[in-house]
Structure formats: C-alpha cells, structure tokens
C-alpha cells in the first residue's frame, strides 16, 4: 500500500481564493468552515484532521480596506496567522505562509532580495509582516513565500489589476499609473514553485514573484500586445483614480534566491490564452 504523501495530508486555509483555485490536493477550508481568527476553532479543526502540512492562504488583501479597518487587518493577517502557526506546532505540521513584497518600504532602486530588511509602510504590509514574525517565532518547519501583484483564477476569481485591464480592451484608451514597479505573480506558477520547495524539504523565506520587474504600464502594454487590442495605453498619476487611504510603495519588485519562476511575460501570455476566455 502506497504511503500517503505530505500533500495528501495537507490542510489549506482560504482555499476558495485565487491561489487556492490551483491547489488540487488536501483538505480545503474557507472562512465559513474555518475562521482563522478563532484560535479554539483552528485548534479543533487541526486536531481533527492532524495535517502534516498547512498552507495558509486566508488573508485580508484589500490594501485600502486594511487601512480603513485596522483591527480587522491585524485580526486576520497577524492574529489569524499566529493561530494557524500555533496549531501547526501542536500537530507537528509544516506551515506555508503566503506573504507579500509590501513588507518592504519601496524606496530601493533594485528589486528586493530575501536578505533585505522589511520596513512596511501601510497597515496591510505591517499586518502581513507581523504574520511572518509569528511563523518564524513559533515554527522551525516553515516556508514564508512573498508574492506581488497576483493574477490568476480566470474571470470567475480574478478581480485584481490584470482582470480589470482585460475588461477594458475594447476601450480606445486605457489609463494606468506609471510610477509603480513590481513582480507579477501567476497563481499557477506560485503553487508549482511552492510544491517544489516542499518536495525539496526547504524552509525559510523565499521570493516567488515571476521573474522580472515591470511597471504597471509595461504590463498593460504586454496585455494589449498579447490580445491584439487596439487600445492606447496612457500613463497617469495615482491621483487620476482618486485618493487612497493606503500608501503604496513605488517599488514592490523582487528577485529570488531560487530560479523556479518563469518570466512574467510568459506567465501572463499563458494565463490569458488558457484561462481568460469569454
């Protein structure tokens, strides 16, 4: 009889989201079946299933909402992660925590490395960094994967930047903020890279954005090119879209100590041609 793999014995929080749509293994939970802010509930669920691996996807990722409701942001992103890490330690599970490049201050010219010191500038980044500290402080067997500008899930799941641009391709002009740089992360590639890290028995912090550091304008121009749209891309200031409560760093791009993630252009083309069909 074949012994079950660590993936067969996994528990996933927040599995209904964009990244979770690419995970085809383990016990899937969402905010209705597992409230990560409730420690007793987290301990009970993990005690029942006794996972060997916990992939913690549950998070509040709306940057402006985090700034508006600070208590909620820390309850979900910091306390919730502390609760999951505590349960992982009790049941002896390895934990994967999905973090963000927003833990950095965004003032560096070059892409951020895993060795750069976090200094978050908004509530979202700070609450996610507190989650990192909780995982590192509680567990030896952990992976902290920082990502940026996530896309994936197709029309039914994707409500972020790439999806919003794809919905504007029939417009004559697409306005886009030009002074922001990052490392787009395709959810499918993230899950593949995560599996590889787990299979190799790695621990620690890894940057898992797709390779490259484009601006928002670069991404929109690439989408227009891939789709053959006739839309013109117009660079605008952030104020064009109104005021935002949250500070958004100018540079969220990352480089990784592992070369598992393909160039962002390849990932974007794959996503559009295979998942974005209407």
pTM: 0.95
Strand segments, DSSP code E, in the chain are: 10-13, 27-28, 53-56, 94-100, 142-147, 150-151, 173-177, 185-186, 204-207, 232-236
pLDDT, mean over the chain? 94
Residue 4, domain member (yes or no): no
Mean pLDDT for 178-184 is: 90
Whether 3 is in a domain gets the answer: no
Q: What is the mean pLDDT of residues 237-249?
A: 72
| The total number of structural domains that make up the chain | 1
| Per-residue confidence band for 151, with pLDDT thresholds at 50, 70 and 90 | very high
Residue 82 included in any domain: yes
Among the ranges given (91-100, 209-218, 247-256), the one the predictor scored with the smallest mean pLDDT: 247-256
Q: What is the C-alpha separation between 42 and 87, in angstroms, rounded?
A: 7
- Residue 238 above 90 pLDDT? no
CATH number at residue 145: 3.40.50.720
Q: At residue 236, does pLDDT exceed 90?
A: no
Domain-embedded: residue 183: yes
What is residue 22's predicted lDDT score, i.e. its pLDDT? 96
Task: Using the predicted structure, report yes or no on whether residue 191 has a pLDDT greater than 90.
Answer: yes
How far is 247 from 66, CA to CA, in rounded Å? 11
For residue 158, what pLDDT is reported?
87
128 domain-assigned: yes
Q: What is the pLDDT of residue 212?
A: 95
1 band by pLDDT with thresholds 50, 70 and 90:
low
Residue 2, in any domain of the structure:
no
* Residue 145 belongs to a domain: yes
pLDDT the model gives residue 93: 97
Which residues constitute the domain of residue 91?
Answer: 10-275
């Amino acid at each position: 009889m074949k012994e079950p793999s660590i993936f067969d014995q996994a528990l996933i929080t927040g599995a209904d989201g964009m990244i979770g749509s690419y995970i085809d293994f383990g016990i899937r939970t969402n905010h209705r079946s597992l409230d990560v802010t409730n420690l007793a509930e987290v301990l009970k669920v993990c005690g029942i299933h006794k996972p060997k691996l916990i992939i913690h996807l549950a998070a509040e990722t709306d940057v402006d909402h985090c700034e508006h409701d600070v208590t909620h942001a820390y309850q979900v992103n910091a306390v919730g992660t502390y609760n999951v890490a505590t349960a992982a330690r009790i049941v002896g599970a390895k934990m994967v925590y999905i973090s963000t490049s927003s833990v950095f201050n965004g003032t560096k010219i070059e892409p951020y490395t895993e060795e750069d010191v976090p200094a978050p500038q908004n509530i979202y980044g700070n609450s996610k960094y507190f989650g990192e500290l909780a995982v590192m402080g509680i567990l030896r067997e952990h992976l902290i994967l920082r990502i940026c500008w996530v896309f994936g899930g197709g029309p039914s799941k994707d409500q972020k930047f790439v999806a919003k641009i794809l919905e504007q391709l029939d417009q004559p002009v697409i306005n886009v903020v030009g002074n922001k740089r990052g490392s787009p992360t395709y959810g499918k590639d993230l899950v593949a890279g995560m599996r590889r890290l787990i299979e190799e028995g790695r621990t620690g912090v890894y940057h898992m954005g797709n390779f490259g550091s484009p601006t928002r304008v670069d991404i929109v121009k690439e989408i227009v090119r891939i789709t053959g749209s006739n839309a013109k891309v117009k660079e605008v200031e952030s104020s064009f879209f109104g005021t935002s409560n949250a500070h958004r760093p100018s540079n969220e791009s990352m480089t990784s100590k592992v070369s598992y993630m393909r160039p962002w252009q390849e990932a974007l083309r794959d996503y559009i041609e295979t998942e974005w069909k209407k």
